[in-house]
Structure 1
Amino acid sequence: MTNFMHVDDWQVWQHASRLSELTITERVRVITQLGIETGTDPAKVTPIQIVRWLASHSEWSDSTMCTYHSYLRRWFKWLQAQGLREDDPMVKVGTPRLPEREPRPVSDIHLAKLITTRMHKRTRFAILIACLAGLRVSEIARIKGEDVDLSGPRMRVLGKRGKQQSVAMHPLLVDIAHQMPSRGWWFPANSVRPGEHMLGKSMSQMIGRVMQRAGVPGTPHSLRHWFGTTLLLEGADIRTVQELMRHSSIASTQLYTMVPDKPRHEAIGRLDPFRYKGSGPIGSAA
């Protein structure tokens, strides 16, 4: 429960809309922080208060700023839709420029190092699911035995905004399915939350600890980036990769078509400042 007007109602409304617990928690946290730091109920803040609040957080990255802007827009749109506020202050605040992104996959050598590192069996299974099916950590955490159809073989995935999609299963994942329960959660929570699945944050921490111990840079999401980038490098067409990555827009998939580091380094390495053989050493007098 919060101490601000309508925030609790917004939280309930988001649950009814089947948004993920992580999304709801983050949105409520940011709106509550806005109210605390401005000293004003977040339902009543003015555009200039919002601008000053955002400007006071120079430590936020451009990506974080864009994310928080989106939370604010959704908050005020909801207030308007419920008849709780007439104006939308975000119209006067404006929209920050979305930073250009590029995938950051783990390298092949680091992935091999990670997979061969000693770890719990289920942690290894989670890592293989991430890099061979491209699932996000929150999606891995919610896998149930009932989601797997070995006759396909396919796996049903509960993705962003509660959207359910089926993904093809790699032969290694079929082998994993034979070792996991045919009913119930594959990655159950601990005794604090009996009968529930692991939280996405806990899954991320579990994989992240092994990555750190193995000396593998990046985050668990880098395994999903390896999945998308490697599919394209191995010749899969971009429409197929969009389906496998479950991107709603092909623009998201196009990020994975950026030239990877290896060809860049090879191209740079082929540069020859003495390609005109008749030239003298660099810096020699004419």
Structure 2
Amino acid sequence: MTMPSVGRDTEQRRRTFPPSPSLLRAVMTYLDVVYADKSPETKKWHTSKLTVMASEIGADRDLATIQDFEVLTWYALKANDRTISRDTLHGYARSAKKFFKWLETVGMIESSPAQGIDLPRLPKRGKRGIAEVDVQAFLRISAGHRRNYSIITFLECSGCRLAGMANLRPEDLDMSNPDRRLRKRAFVIEKGDQERVVFMSKRAYFSMRRWLDVRPASMDTVWGLAPRGIYEVLRRYASKLDLQGKWSPHEWRHRAGRRWITQGMHLSHVSQILGHSSTYVTDQFYGQFNVDELQEAYEGIVEVTDIAQVQGTDKG
């Protein structure tokens, strides 16, 4: 099923769905359409939240009969449930708001009954992503496979989203450009139709060249894999390595953002490279540090300065 464009007439958009679908059917349609090109983990996460919501509000309820106060009452009960963590509550709120907003966008409902839900504030904590030791394990185990190694090295350095990687075409690369800097750029399309540029490290560039030398010309995209296919490449390696930590494609993106900030890249640069809507988003994800990390950063500057000043005094 193809999601209708926002600009079409409401009645035309309604024809995409059967008349008066149940809440659960609308949920399943939404998940199939919106998360078709997302990782299985992402779809599973939203499924767990929305199916609970549907069962508690009424899975067989006619979508058109659901009122704002019912959704707000459902959320209030969740908010007052002390067995639910703040993170889980945030997940329910976020999933419900996105779901009903999508229904409004495609013309299935006049307005979102979840618009009155405010996302609960979460404690500030930076996302670290996949562990460095696991990154090195992925690089070692994939080194003998040209396609998979080019996937891993590109994922490791670019901060690209999974959909952007899956949609990457040979013409989005400029591997033979006389300008060496331009050779290491790739134009990707993410989040529907948003185009942005990502960059490759030397290792990713050369592994990409080696893969393109043997890549079948019949492939429409660089790797000839849908998002699920790229995810499956990682899953198989993670299984062989018996990894216990997080390794999904988005965890590599988290690692890149965190790493760039801790190594001194300007927050605005990180934000633009990752394709964030604002530096606030980048800061919330990657700019939060624990006390040990803050002290280490502090001492790395202050103690070096103190030593230089002492040495200068001694010379005087």
- TM-score > 0.5 by shorter chain: yes
Q: Gapped runs of 5+ residues in structure 1?
A: 189-196, 268-286
The 3 A distance-change label for structure 1 pair 260 and 211 is farther
Establish whether residue 134 from structure 1 lines up as the match of residue 170 from structure 2: no
Match of 1:97 in 2: 120
Whose helix fraction is larger, Structure 1's or Structure 2's? 2
Aligned pairs, number: 247
CA distance in 2, matches of 1:32, 1:263: 39
CA distance in 2, matches of 1:83, 1:266: 53
CA distance in 2, matches of 1:32, 1:258: 32
Report deviation, 1:140. Answer: 1.5
**Conserved? CA contact 2:154–2:200, under 8 Å:** no
**Conserved? CA contact 1:4–1:32, under 8 Å:** no
CA distance in 2, matches of 1:260, 1:148: 39
Map of 1:142-181 to 2, 5 A cutoff?
Answer: 142-150=167-175, 151=177, 152-153=182-183, 154-181=185-212
Report deviation, 1:145. Answer: 0.9
CA distance in 2, matches of 1:217, 1:84: 41
The 3 A distance-change label for structure 1 pair 265 and 157 is same
Match of 2:289 in 1: 259
When the two chains are superposed, the root-mean-square deviation of aligned CA atoms in Å is 3.9
The 3 A distance-change label for structure 1 pair 216 and 110 is farther
Match of 2:261 in 1: 232
Partner deviation per Cα, 1:142-189 (whole Å, 9 max, x = no partner): 22111101221210111123201122222122212312348631222x
Partner deviation per Cα, 1:80-139 (whole Å, 9 max, x = no partner): xx5953x65335x52231434531322322321221125743223222111111112222
Q: 1:5 aligns with which of 15, 20, 34?
A: 20
Q: 1:61 aligns with which of 85, 88, 92?
A: 88
Letter in 2 for 1:259: F
Letter in 2 for 1:227: A
Match of 2:12 in 1: none
Match of 1:244 in 2: 273
For the residue of structure 2 that corresponds to 1:117, the secondary structure is helix
Establish whether residue 44 from structure 1 lines up as the match of residue 44 from structure 2: no
For the residue of structure 1 that corresponds to 2:64, the secondary structure is coil
Establish whether residue 217 from structure 1 lines up as the match of residue 245 from structure 2: yes
CA distance in 1, matches of 2:256, 2:112: 40
Letter in 1 for 2:197: S
